[in-house]
Structure 1
Amino acid sequence: MDYVIRPVRADEWRATRELRLAALRDPAAPLAYLETYEDAVAQPDEFWRGRAERAAHGTTALQFVAEAGEGGRWDGSVVVLVEEAGAVDFFGEAVERRQAQLVAVFVRPEARGSGVADALFSAAVEWAFGLDGVTRVRLYVHEDNQRAEGFYRKFGFVHTGGAVPHPGDPSKVEREMELKRL
């Protein structure tokens, strides 16, 4: 299948909501996301409008989607967060330099193995490395999420040695991986 990889538009909040809820129903969701389906589905429309708007402007975040043909169903997504030097990240760690972080990675099961994840990551990384001062893209992967980690390694990400406790289960860790611009 042919996919259009593009940034989400602010008015596409309904499709953004549908894809996020699908991601949160995936069996890997407890390892991959820090949000539950029950919490997300309870959010009002205004929450989803704001989320889509923030992910569409491209100054602090940009969400890429894999659209099946022009105007088709969204089969995957990744969000790029721009982290500024001196800020504190989600895990409470100080950000040392301007960088990007990939979050909310999801490909529908029926689209896995089709190249969608590669295309999404290529677009996200290209956009991030096009930002002034960004020479590093990072992500975190749960220690038990081997499928995701395998893809990240194949794409070129390597472990940094950094890890943080998983917020939902402090006995588990989220391992930091990075890709540096050559």
Structure 2
Amino acid sequence: MRYDVRRVRAEEWAALRELRLAALRDPVAHLAFLDTVAAAEARPAAFWQERARSSAAGTTVAQFVALAPTGGPDELAGELADELAGTVTVLVTSAGERDYVGETSPSPSAAMVGVYVPPEHRGGAAIGALLDAAQEWVRDLGLERVRLHVHEHNARAQAAYRRLGYVETGAQAHLGGAVHLELERDLTDEPAPPR
């Protein structure tokens, strides 16, 4: 299946909220996310609206979604409806600022967080399409590397990232009381390994 990937739109905040809740309900959510369903459900609409707005147009955060064609008509838009088949968010940290794991960045850096692909889209092209779009955005910023952290016991995610050209740096982050391995991708070596 071919996936189209694009940056999120501010007006789709409700759909993004639902995708996040689905991610947090996933059986492996405890290995992938530091958030909980209860905390996410308690956040007001204004939180989700601002999150979508900043992810749609920001220069220090960008969220991307993979769209899987459903083949059905979308009555509101008058075009083919697409199912949200995954998401990834990129956080950019300036030199001297603290990043999302609390470390001071010696130079501008980018990290991928909130990676989620629903079970029915795992094992295919969705994850690669998402990461390709996010990596292209990072390249366009002039950055040469992107990193992410994956729970030490999340073997499936580790394997997917390695297949897509990510390598362990040897660094670890302690997030949510668990060890997360740091993986990094050199964006100067075009393109990613074949999938």
TM-score over 0.5 for the pair: yes
Secondary structure of 1:73's counterpart equals: strand
Q: Look up the match of 1:106.
A: 116
**Structure 2: any 5+ residue segments left out of the alignment?**
70-79, 189-195
Q: Look up the match of 2:43.
A: 43
Separation in structure 2 between the aligned mates of residue 179 and residue 87 of structure 1, nearest angstrom? 21
Deviation string 1:15-47 (CA, Å, 9 cap, x unpaired) is 110100000000111111110011001111111
Deviation string 1:122-179 (CA, Å, 9 cap, x unpaired) is 11111111113x1110000110111101011111111111112122x2xx31111111
175, 183, 191: which one aligns with 1:177: 183
Which 4+ residue blocks in structure 1 deviate beyond 3 angstroms? none
One-letter amino acid of the structure 2 residue matched with residue 181 of structure 1: L
Secondary structure of 1:11's counterpart equals: helix
156, 160, 167: which one aligns with 1:151: 160
Secondary structure of 1:71's counterpart equals: strand
Larger radius of gyration: 2
1:7: Cα distance to partner?
0.4
Q: Look up the match of 2:171.
A: 162
Q: Look up the match of 1:116.
A: 126
Separation in structure 1 between the aligned mates of residue 37 and residue 122 of structure 2, nearest angstrom? 21
1:99: Cα distance to partner?
1.6
Secondary structure of 2:141's counterpart equals: coil
Q: Look up the match of 1:68.
A: 68
Deviation string 1:97-130 (CA, Å, 9 cap, x unpaired) is 1121000000010111221001001111111111
TM-score normalised by L of structure 2:
0.87
Q: Look up the match of 1:54.
A: 54
Secondary structure of 1:72's counterpart equals: strand
One-letter amino acid of the structure 2 residue matched with residue 11 of structure 1: E
Q: Note the 1:2-13 alignment, pairs <5 A.
A: 2-13=2-13
Separation in structure 2 between the aligned mates of residue 58 and residue 4 of structure 1, nearest angstrom? 21
Separation in structure 1 between the aligned mates of residue 48 and residue 94 of structure 2, nearest angstrom? 25
Separation in structure 1 between the aligned mates of residue 66 and residue 6 of structure 2, nearest angstrom? 7
**Structure 1: any 5+ residue segments left out of the alignment?**
none
Secondary structure of 1:81's counterpart equals: strand
Q: What's the RMSD between the two structures over aligned residues?
A: 1.2
Aligned length: 178
Separation in structure 1 between the aligned mates of residue 171 and residue 124 of structure 2, nearest angstrom? 31
Contact 2:3 2:125 in 1 (8 A): no
Percent identity over the alignment is 48
